[in-house]
Amino acid sequence: MCETCGCGDTSELKIHDRQHSHEHDHDHTHSHDHNHENDHEHSHTHSHDSVLFTHSQDHGAKKVISLNVDILSDNNRLAQVNRKSFEERNILSLNLVSSPGSGKTTILEKTIKALIANRKIFVIEGDQQTLLDADRIEKSGAPAIQINTGSGCHLDAKMVDTAFKKLDVEPNSILFIENVGNLVCPALFDLGEFKRVVVISVTEGDDKPLKYPYMFKSSHLCIINKSDLLPYVDFDVDKTMEYARSLNPKLEFILLSARTGEGMDLWYEWLGKQK
Amino acid sequence: MHEFSLAIEVIDLVQREAEKNLAASIREITIEVGDLSGVEADAFESALELLVKDSILANANINIVRTAGKGKCNACNNEFEMKYRMATCPKCQCFPSEISGGEEFRVVSLVIE
């Protein structure tokens, strides 16, 4: 198992269906004791761009299979299925990513309270442990389902598919997927969302986009939260925007404070414009 | 940090290919990891080595081929080796550049028996 974050071990994965109190366990086991010769003698290069072509050559009993298949293709395929499900039901699906403590859950609580009268909102909550965030979301008035990834560090398309079906998300609603707090791993995993929203807060360094380029490159909107604390910290909003734009020129920005409500109207306006 | 889940993806993918091709065992697997793919090649290789024991890859040689990152400067069109995403163009020192290679992360080939 990964010594840093344990990702890949799905034995602890739990999806808590809060309406039907039903738990779902996956049971993958992998043993860890391998002894193989790793002589790196094949360093030939391949220039095939096609992902799905397959051909074989026979060499006696041995056979070489040329695959050139993207290792994330399974996740990407399932993400496409999710995306189609969301689109067919006119569900606005947003994947919220950030480091822990940037205020994703608070933003969602405030958003639910402000918008729930006009549009149904559903939330898929991803955390390593506990039901705390789903409890907070439900208190705000939106149905939520909690995925506990155990020691895993990100949500993937399969987890979202399972949670989406259990949550029974209604057509024409907004589905927020609050990813595990982590600016590294969730960047690689498409969940099928319509747009990805990265949240940073002004108590973090303004050089975050440079340090975690994959996340900022793959997002559509960047929310800079905790703007009420700007007088007390050295965070340079313009510099952050400049760094992030250098990676992703199309990235949009909203500066807000979920705590005081400042700038939240811009976020609601942005949500209203997403079709 | 996600290298373990990616290693599991590889094992699942190879298992399916092995079944499709009626392979008794896999002798060799070649995987390409681009320097700008977001995957740490060393961590991924360690993860794969740990996880293959009870899989069809148990006795396979694992070849990880690393592909260097390549960039093309937006300002002067210079093509250069890009060691990291935020690299400036070595010719005109401009930034940013388009990534033109090194984002690959794929199973290139298998040798089966």
CATH topology of domain B3-69+101-112: hypothetical protein PF0899 fold (3.30.2320)
Centre a 10 Å sphere on the Cβ of residue A149 and count the other Cβ atoms it contains. 26
Question: Could you tell me if A64 lies within 8 Å of chain B, comparing CB atoms?
Answer: yes
B104 alpha carbon, distance to own chain's centre: 6
The whole-angstrom distance between residue A268's C-alpha and the CA centroid of its chain comes to 20
Cβ contact A158:A211 at 8 Å: no
Verify whether the Cβ–Cβ distance B110 to A67 is below 8 Å.
yes
Residue A216's closest chain B neighbor by CA? B85
Report the gap between the CA of A128 and the closest CA in chain B (Å): 14
Is A10 a domain residue? no
The interface predicted TM-score (ipTM) is 0.82
With pLDDT > 70 as the criterion, what percentage of chain B qualifies? 99
CB of A68 less than 8 A from some CB of B: yes
CATH of the domain at A239: 3.40.50.300
Rounded Cα gap, residues A9 and A27, in angstroms: 9
Per-residue pLDDT at A11: 64
Distance (Å) of CA A6 to CA A10, A12, A41, A191, B13: 9, 10, 31, 20, 21
pTM of the shown model: 0.79
Environment class of residue A39 by beta-carbon count within 10 Å: exposed (0-12), middle (13-18) or buried (19+)? exposed
Let me know if residue A17 belongs to a domain: no
Of the candidates A168, A225, A219, the one whose C-alpha atom is nearest the C-alpha of residue A194 is: A219
Looking at this protein, which amino acid is placed at residue B30? T
Residue A159 lies in a domain: yes
Q: Do B4 and A2 touch (CB under 8 A)?
A: yes
Looking up tokens 């907070």 gives A136
Chain B from 4 to 63: CB within 8 A of any A CB: 4-10, 12-13, 17, 21, 23, 27-28, 30-32, 38-39, 45, 47, 49-55, 58-63
- Residue of chain B minimizing CA distance to A1: B4
Q: Assess if residue A237 is contained within a domain.
A: yes
Nearest-neighbour CA in chain B from A243: distance (Å): 10
| Grouped pLDDT means (10 residues each) for chain A, 275 residues | 46 68 42 41 38 45 90 92 97 97 97 96 94 94 93 90 96 97 91 98 95 94 98 98 93 98 98 93
Predicted confidence at residue A7, as pLDDT, reads: 52
The CA distance from A139 to A149, in Å, is 22
Closest CB to A63: pick one of B3, B96, B112. B112
Phi, psi of A16 (to 5 degrees): -95, 110
Structural domains counted in chain A: 1
Residue A194 placed within a domain: yes
B1 and A75: CB-CB below 8 Å? no
Residues of A in contact with B53 (CB under 8 A): 30-34
Mean pLDDT of chain B: 91
Q: Where are the domains of chain B?
A: 3-69+101-112
Kindly give, in sequence order, each residue whose CB lies less than 8 Å from that of residue A216, ignoring residues fewer than 6 positions away: A198, A208, A209, A222, A243, A244, A247, A248, A251
